[in-house]
Amino acid sequence: MNTVTAPAPPVDLSRRPAPKPKNIAPAVVLLGLLAAGIWSVDAVGINVQAIASSLDNAVAFIQRMFPLDFPPVAETVGMVLETLAIVFLATFLSVVLSVPLSLAAARATATGRFSQGAARTLIVLARAIPDLVLAIVFLRLFGLGATAGILAMGFHSVGMVAKLYADAIEELDDGPRESVEAAGGHRRQQIAAAIPQVLLPQMVATALHRFDINLRTSVLLGYVGVGGIGLAIADALRTLDYQRGMALALLVLGLCIAIELLSGAIRAAIMRRSGGAVSGGTWSDRLFASGVTGADRAAGADATVRLTPPWTAARAQRFLAGALILVLLAASLWRVDISPEALWQGLLSLPETLGLFLPPSAGGTWGSLMEQLLLTVQIALASTLIGAVLAVPIGILAANNVVANQAVRTFFRVLIVVVRGIPELILAIIFVVISGLGGVAGTLALAVGAVGLLSKLVADSLEETDTEVQDAMRTAGASEAQVFFAATIRQAAPAFIAHTMYLLDSNIRAATLLGVVGAGGIGFLLLNASRVNQFDVVTLILILMVVVVLAVEVLSMWLRRAVR
């Protein structure tokens, strides 16, 4: 008996599956952030009329800039060397502090849950407290000069450096450490044998990246009394000497671009050499294969690992690099002339100094603090929105797998490098002169600065997409536009969202700091409170800033997980 099967009901291809509840919440939050950004643009006062009315000021500013007045060569070289010495010592200090802190924070090397939690808390606090606030505290302790800047940038850099080191340790295969432990090695031997040889290239690359960031930060700290080029720029602009101030700013731009290109080349060479030193096998195989040669294996010789590695070319390069770092350390200490006696006296006065900052108080300006805090958030939201609108198309045009014309890609890559080289403080100073004091200057400065950061991240995200999916669509007859919107953009969209939230997080911190030059926000009140010795108000402003920064960071972490 034949069974007749009823025909299946037709499928309605026009119907899309209902959105899942877990996808609705991130979409609502993103739409809310977009609406908040649009509202902030209007609230800050960014509009065509405001920009048009500033054109005359821009022309007048350019006329007052020229001719540029560069300092004498000897003075210029002295300022550059002092700035580089401050930045090198701050970065070196951050690495020295970050190595033990990252070992305590990583699961594989932590001694217990309590120590791991304490280390992670210290890392978060170091990142949340702005280096400007740390500089104010250290200036009170040790007086004007390089010491305060070195300590401020060094301690603040721990928040980034230690976090990246700890994350890198957790991503490693724990087999080598367990092997040393099984052989009877204690904890220090496990760490010394199984981790540094693999992590060293990444540690150096992270330190170079932080050096690049600290160079830009040193310009900002000049406004509170730290030495170097930043202090010279602050002195020139306070007296409206735009010819000298902009000449020094141009010098900073060239220095930042040169350091970024140099550190980028060194990082690429280090990572390339570490990745291609030994071919085949896992990193743990390469680590423990260094003492046995192929001839030993062929002859069946006893594979005894040498306790002292041979003097190969790679080892000689590492030795010379270490010697160079020690030479630079000694030269930097000599250049900034840190006084051990002043350090000791400052440490002795630490309890008294901390007492000036406690308890926190509004100083009768609570309403003004809340108003400027809201303005800081508005500047961050508005600059993130405008910056994203500017940066996304530039990043797309700089991606190798999107734009076939090499000249176009090269132009936009160079543009990104140049914009990245300009410290936001310099942009803020220019826009303050052009558009006046307030949130407009801060918003425009951060929006332009976003091009350097977000464009590069967008281009890198596009280049990291799966090209096989794109090639399959081309084989099926899809046009380049269809491939871009249906495959490339869809793969990179989660990364775009994560990068934009990172930009918002960075802009909130930067908007606070740019207030010191009158670019709007709570940073202006922070600087004024420190100048009139209202350190209890400084503490309250710091608490408010940390709360906002942590709230945005929690929201960013949730969104990144939700859209992954």
Residue 540, domain member (yes or no): yes
| CB 420, CB 511: distance < 8 Å | no
Q: Which residues contact 151 (CB under 8 A, 6 or more apart)?
A: 90, 93, 134, 138, 142
| CB 410, CB 498: distance < 8 Å | no
Q: Are 34 and 150 found together in one domain?
A: no
Residue 333, domain member (yes or no): no
| pTM (predicted TM-score) | 0.75
| CB 531, CB 136: distance < 8 Å | no
Q: Are 81 and 126 found together in one domain?
A: yes
The residue with tokens 């594979």 is: 303
Terminal-residue alpha carbon distance, the chain: 54
Q: Which two tokens stand for residue 382?
A: 């508005």
Q: Are 426 and 546 found together in one domain?
A: yes
Q: Are 533 and 482 found together in one domain?
A: yes
Q: Are 83 and 182 found together in one domain?
A: yes
Where a domain ends, among 234, 268, 290? Answer: 290
Q: Are 273 and 371 found together in one domain?
A: no
Q: How many domains does the chain have?
A: 2
Q: How many residues does the chain have?
A: 564
Residue 64, domain member (yes or no): no
The helix (run of H) or strand (run of E) holding residue 251 is helix 242-276
Where a domain ends, among 290, 322, 337? Answer: 290
Query: Per-residue confidence of the chain (564 residues) as pLDDT tens digits?
Result: 555 555 545 544 445 555 565 667 777 888 888 898 889 888 888 877 777 777 777 787 788 888 888 888 888 888 888 888 999 999 999 999 988 888 888 776 777 788 888 888 888 888 878 888 888 888 888 877 788 888 888 998 888 888 888 877 766 655 665 666 666 655 565 565 555 555 666 777 788 888 888 888 888 787 777 778 888 888 887 787 888 888 888 888 888 888 877 877 776 676 566 554 433 333 333 333 333 444 444 444 444 445 455 666 666 776 787 788 888 888 888 888 777 777 788 788 878 878 888 888 887 788 888 888 888 889 999 999 998 888 888 888 888 777 777 888 888 888 888 887 777 778 888 888 788 777 888 888 888 888 888 888 888 777 777 666 766 777 777 666 667 766 677 777 777 787 888 888 888 888 887 877 777 778 888 888 887 888 888 888 888 888 888 888 788 778 777 766
Q: Are 49 and 77 found together in one domain?
A: no
Please give the Cα distance from 62 to 64 (Å, whole number): 5
Q: Are 41 and 126 found together in one domain?
A: no
Please give the Cα distance from 293 to 95 (Å, whole number): 34
Q: Print the domain residue range for 43.
A: 24-53+360-563
Q: Are 519 and 558 found together in one domain?
A: yes
Residue 270, domain member (yes or no): yes
Please give the Cα distance from 173 to 171 (Å, whole number): 7
Residue 347, domain member (yes or no): no
| CB 541, CB 535: distance < 8 Å | no
Residue 156, domain member (yes or no): yes
Please give the Cα distance from 31 to 37 (Å, whole number): 10
Where a domain ends, among 235, 260, 290? Answer: 290
Q: Are 244 and 371 found together in one domain?
A: no
User: b/e per residue, 182-218, with b = 16+ CB within 10 A?
Assistant: eeebeeeebbebbbebbbebbbbbbbbbbbbbbbbbb
Residue 200, domain member (yes or no): yes
| CB 449, CB 387: distance < 8 Å | yes
Q: Are 47 and 79 found together in one domain?
A: no
Q: Are 412 and 470 found together in one domain?
A: yes
Q: Which residues contact 357 (CB under 8 A, 6 or more apart)?
A: 137, 535, 536, 538, 539
Residue 336, domain member (yes or no): no
CA 25 to chain CA mean position, Å: 28
Q: Which two tokens stand for residue 500?
A: 């934009």
DSSP string covering 227-248: -SHHHHHHHHHHTT-HHHHHHH
Q: Which residues contact 205 (CB under 8 A, 6 or more apart)?
A: 267, 270, 271
| CB 260, CB 423: distance < 8 Å | no
CATH of the domain at 228: 1.10.3720.10
